[in-house]
Structure 1
Amino acid sequence: MSIGFEERLRAVAREHYHDRHPFNVRMHQGELSPAELRRWILNRFHYQRHIPVKDALITAKLEAPALRRMWVRRIQDHDGTVEGEGGIERWLRLGEAAGVERDRLLSGAEVAPGVRLAVAGYVDFCRLGSPLEAVAASLTELSAPDLMRTRVDAFERHYPWIDRAGLRYFRERVAQGRRDSREALDLVLHWARTPAEQERALAALTFKCEVLWALLDAVQHAGTGARPMVGAPAGVGVGACSGAEDPEEGEP
């Protein structure tokens, strides 16, 4: 019996998600130094601050007002509806709790080139791809809630020098990730009716997994002076797929 489309999507999100990256494994086992953890927070913020940008691009592709209202909530989740709220603000507070000044995060001066490339690739993918592809790429959210729970436990257990109030971003994303992934999955299952459409959706999700993996490759090597190498799981490589109009632009 062939595996159903939904299970294939879930398998990609489960088997290629960046929770398996060596840097994340070390983080959750309590093996990162304060300098390494701060470097991750700083570089990951470059991705975080672009989430509402890619969601604005996706929102613009949605023709139905109800869908736009649904998706624009994601922008509000990260930007907040008033100053001092939202996921970006919570990440800034995580940085402060870990000893990374707000101005240092906002300047972006220390972001690794590989992180910039991975994030730009994802934003361009959402800009150039079809609504199906852009939404399917967001389905890494299927695995995010479990990762967030693991991360909160790891930070509380292994990194007590970080104020627990700074972990609010991770706690909030458990419920948000469940809701967001359910909404996106429903759309993808509704839109991807033909085998070709389903393959494009699977390729888009694989691509997003590559973005997150490549980002961690860059963070891992940023402190060593070594050239970043893609260390994705078997079958996953940066730029291996793209349903966007210009796959050269391709590759959280």
Structure 2
Amino acid sequence: MPEPWSNEQFMAQLRKVGESRYHDKHPYHVRMHEGKLSPEQVRGWVANRFYYQKNIPVKDALILSKLPSREDRRDWIQRIIDHDGRGDDEGGIEAWVRLGEAVGIPREEMLDERHVLPAVRFAVDAYVNFCRLRPWPEAVASSLTELFAPTLVSSRIGVFEKLYPWIRPEGLEYFRARLQQAPRDADQGVGLVMRECKTRKEQEAAVAALSFKCDVLWALLDALSLAYPDEENRA
């Protein structure tokens, strides 16, 4: 049995996944950040990504139900509140609906999922089921795409403001909130994974879980590339 990685080696393996497999490297996403997507392509991304967004608190509730201590659960539940909202805070799901409205998708079309592609639904449901069925440290590890999110989200705000000026600015509030939420969530997730994954087998399973999550996000963009091709690639 191989020796466990040190914490530094373990973190390096997790970050290596992001360097090679995070969805910011997908051609559809690259074109978005170059300002090359049409309004139809942007709307396709917003509508389909919403199916992922609305399932984030579902997968987090599944993880919450497995966490072994009150302290862990009290920390993790904030993720659900961030997306579902509480009190005067309407939460991230509502903020994404407003992003949809800001790019020209009526609220009812966002909520009834008429634009969600079958492959997107399949990939997101697979992620939810992964969190339902796998040991909770692996489910937590799959959430560590948050390690790579803050830089991307910050860049996305500037891209949308400068390269897609037709998007109403109030639609970008979801991304602004995530600038604070994602680093906090990443720190919590890393702490749990480092605490629980002590053997090399457990560590490798955590890295594989993060790779799987990256595949889910990549699959969403694969589906969008087929459904919303560039003009020159249309039949």
Higher relative contact order (Cα pairs below 8 Å, separated by 6+ residues): 2
The secondary structure found in structure 1 opposite 2:115 is coil
The secondary structure found in structure 1 opposite 2:167 is coil
Is the counterpart of residue 9 in structure 1 residue 14 in structure 2?
yes
Alignment match, 2:76: 71
Alignment of 1:1-252 (within 5 A): 4-82=9-87, 85-224=90-229
- Write the distance in 2 (CA, Å) between the matches of 1:69 and 1:219: 37
Is the contact made by 2:18 and 2:145 (CA closer than 8 Å) also made in structure 1? yes
- Write the distance in 1 (CA, Å) between the matches of 2:225 and 2:112: 21
What TM-score does the superposition give when structure 1 sets the normalisation length?
Answer: 0.86
Of 79-88 and 97-106, the range deviating more from structure 2: 79-88
What TM-score does the superposition give when structure 2 sets the normalisation length?
Answer: 0.92
* CA-CA distance at 1:84 after TM superposition: 6.3
The secondary structure found in structure 2 opposite 1:82 is coil
* CA-CA distance at 1:165 after TM superposition: 1.3
Output the amino acid matched with 1:210: D
Is the contact made by 2:142 and 2:212 (CA closer than 8 Å) also made in structure 1? yes
- Write the distance in 1 (CA, Å) between the matches of 2:21 and 2:40: 27
Alignment match, 1:244: none
Is the contact made by 1:141 and 1:181 (CA closer than 8 Å) also made in structure 2? yes
* CA-CA distance at 1:37 after TM superposition: 0.3
Give unmatched runs, 5+ long, in structure 1: 225-252
Deviation per CA, 1:190-231, whole angstroms, max 9, x where unpaired?
A: 11110000010000000000000001111121135xxxxxxx
Q: Show structure 1 runs of 4+ deviating over 4 A.
A: none
Once the two structures are aligned, what percentage of the paired residues are identical? 54
* CA-CA distance at 1:82 after TM superposition: 3.1
The secondary structure found in structure 2 opposite 1:99 is coil
Output the amino acid matched with 1:75: I
The secondary structure found in structure 1 opposite 2:104 is coil
The secondary structure found in structure 1 opposite 2:86 is coil
The secondary structure found in structure 2 opposite 1:50 is helix
Is the contact made by 2:40 and 2:228 (CA closer than 8 Å) also made in structure 1? no
* CA-CA distance at 1:83 after TM superposition: 6.7
- Write the distance in 2 (CA, Å) between the matches of 1:23 and 1:152: 17
The secondary structure found in structure 2 opposite 1:49 is helix
- Write the distance in 2 (CA, Å) between the matches of 1:214 and 1:83: 35
Is the contact made by 2:59 and 2:131 (CA closer than 8 Å) also made in structure 1? yes
* CA-CA distance at 1:7 after TM superposition: 1.0
Deviation per CA, 1:125-160, whole angstroms, max 9, x where unpaired?
A: 000000110000000000000110110011011000
Is the contact made by 2:62 and 2:132 (CA closer than 8 Å) also made in structure 1? yes
Deviation per CA, 1:85-140, whole angstroms, max 9, x where unpaired?
A: 10001001111111101100000122101100100100000000001100000000
- Write the distance in 1 (CA, Å) between the matches of 2:159 and 2:225: 19
Is the contact made by 2:97 and 2:110 (CA closer than 8 Å) also made in structure 1? yes
